Amino acid sequence: MAMNGAFLRILALLGMLCPLARGSVNLYLSGDEVKKLLGLTADLYYVRDNQVNSYALKFNLPVPADINSLHFTWRSSMPGVRYRMSLLSENTRILKKPETNISLAGEVPLAESVFRVNLTCSGQSNAEVGVHIQLNVTLHSAQNYTVLNFRRRKMCMINDEPIIKPGTGSVNNSSPIVRGESDYSVSNSTSVFYIAVGVACTIIFLIAMAIAAINVHSIKQNDRIRTATDNYVPRSCRTRYSLFLICSVRKFFIKNLAHWFPPAYPSLRRYPNMTEPVADVRSQLSDICIQRTEVTLGDVLQEGTFGRIYHGIVVGEDRAEQEVFIKTVTDQASEEQVLLLLRESCMLRGVHHRHVQTITYACLDDGRPMTIFPYLNHGNLKVFLKHCRASETHTHQILSTQDLVHLAIQIGKAMQYLGKRGVVHRDLATRNCVLDEGLNVKVTDNALARDLFSGDYHCLGDNENRPVKWLAIESLVDKHFSSASDVWAFGVLLWELMTLGQTPYSDIDPFEMASYLRDGFRAPQPINCPDELFAIMACCWALSPEERPKFAQLTACLQEFHKALGLYI
């Protein structure tokens, strides 16, 4: 199968990274074993010709509930390679100490052979238990042991319970499940979800591995290109080639994953109806209208050709003063632009979520209507990021990767919520987010964004000004929007975060975007962007909407990555 071929090429590349060393010890998971654990057929090498694949070792592979033994294949080309092994379960009450069918110390066999590690659950609790397998092998010299650490996360279920297997869609909510050492309970359906997240993160890991391999592999050939362009290499073959592999691998995985996830997105609903007659937009706002006298305009925070955002104060019914953002237009604005402000300000009305900013008041008294939103003191996220980038060259870096991932998680949660409510945002980008000093971020509507960030919008021959560089291929070509196209935009938003507010595809003509994307090009990996994060972005940019991850998966993966970053620091 072609997909398999691509994956095998990646593994082959991983092997080629390492020059052939003295002697040769091989240790790998056979195709059958990888198929059982990950659903694809390919050997996964931990040690190949004496070279340790640290990417593979770093990965904590999930072991589903219905798999009770692991099989490793190994052989040495010369006698006298010794090993010592130790096995450990993080919670022996739930998972017995793992056992193996070879002795704990000895010599690596000369013929290719398999050893088994049994993972036996006690059947007393539902939980995920960490397993450590340590193998010390005299790889490079007779005296020195090379330490190989394998980590697994084994799902254990209470005895006599139906094990949830791929394909059986039934979900039983009656039995609580405990994850690891923590004491919160979630339902069985959640356990399916966690397994699924594990698998989804596996994909991302493998993609990251592939990217790393290809990048390392191609550094030499690309040296010239790399130095010729300072920041990134939008049109280099490297970007295209790795994306081809990413997409192939992902496609392959998705086929095997399909049964883990409920299909399709909730049916789409436009919110609100953009074609409503004029009177309706104003009357829609009547319940939150306040008097002009209750509004005090403060500083202008952002200014476009006709739109403005002010900091201001609103005196509420209880006479309490409230700090607010005020979106309004100047006298130059046409009636059409006024209506657009009102309509777009209502976009997220009725949504209540910690990370969503919605209109609280409107003031329609005179010719210049205002829409009013809760105040967040760091203001617009894109402006904030650009400011950080500018000051970065002078002072130390203000935002860490962990901070940026934290922002992404909050935005992901907001989008997950919107998706559940059937709301399609259609213009997710850092310019449509606001944040406070605690780096709490909220997704907001796109009212005035076309005017305030005119460089981010383009007309493609028609009169509609669209965020071309953020649009999924189906939105660009067929004007079709869905949660999946929001996922695409979220990928671009991640890219914006990691570049501190750069404009994506800045040197691509908006008219060429569709064919550029169809040819397999995507935004390149930003400098200093970890492979794992770039892999997450790349997944959001799958051509086919069904192949893109869901927001629930994205936030879960980002959270895992955030946690991992915490551990490294």
Ligand X SMILES: *[C@@H]1O[C@H](CO)[C@@H](O)[C@H](O)[C@H]1NC(C)=O
Residues that bind ligand X (CB under 6 A): 68-69, 71, 84-86, 99, 101-102, 114-116, 118, 134, 136, 141, 143-145, 147, 170, 172, 174
Backbone angles phi, psi at 16, to 5 degrees: -70, -20
Which among 25, 26, 115, 27 is positioned nearest to 78, based on CA atoms?
25
- Residue number with CB closer to ligand X (169 or 566): 169
Q: What is the DSSP string of 326-382?
A: EEEE-TT--HHHHHHHHHHHTTTTT---TTB----EEE-SSSS-EEEEE--TTEEHH
Which among 257, 233, 258, 255 is positioned nearest to 243, based on CA atoms?
233
**In the complex, least distance from residue 264 CB atom to ligand X, rounded to whole angstroms:** 22
**In the complex, least distance from residue 157 CB atom to ligand X, rounded to whole angstroms:** 12
Classify strands 105-107 and 177-178 as parallel, antiparallel or unpaired: unpaired
**In the complex, least distance from residue 564 CB atom to ligand X, rounded to whole angstroms:** 23
Is residue 427 part of the annotated active site? The answer reads yes
- Residue number with CB closer to ligand X (133 or 204): 133
Q: Which of 230, 427, 456, 462 is catalytic?
A: 427
- Residue number with CB closer to ligand X (160 or 336): 160
**In the complex, least distance from residue 170 CB atom to ligand X, rounded to whole angstroms:** 6
Q: How far is residue 204 CA from its own chain's centroid?
A: 9
300-304: long-range pairs with CB below 8 Å, 24+: 301/325, 301/379, 301/380, 302/379, 302/380, 302/383, 302/448, 302/452, 303/452, 304/448, 304/451, 304/452, 304/454
- Residue number with CB closer to ligand X (190 or 502): 190
Q: E strand or H helix at 7, and its extent? A: helix 2-16
- Residue number with CB closer to ligand X (143 or 332): 143
**In the complex, least distance from residue 71 CB atom to ligand X, rounded to whole angstroms:** 6
The pair of three-digit structure tokens given for residue 269, joined into one six-digit string: 């609903």
**In the complex, least distance from residue 190 CB atom to ligand X, rounded to whole angstroms:** 15
**In the complex, least distance from residue 99 CB atom to ligand X, rounded to whole angstroms:** 4
- Residue number with CB closer to ligand X (149 or 231): 149
Q: What is the DSSP string of 93-159?
A: TTBPPPEESS-SEEE--SS-EEEEEE--B-SS--EEEEEEEEEEE--SSSSPPEEEEEEEEEEE--T
Backbone angles phi, psi at 305, to 5 degrees: -75, -30
37-to-2, 58, 66 alpha-carbon distances in Å? 21, 16, 10
Query: Coil, strand or helix: which one is 278?
Result: helix
The catalytic residue positions are 427
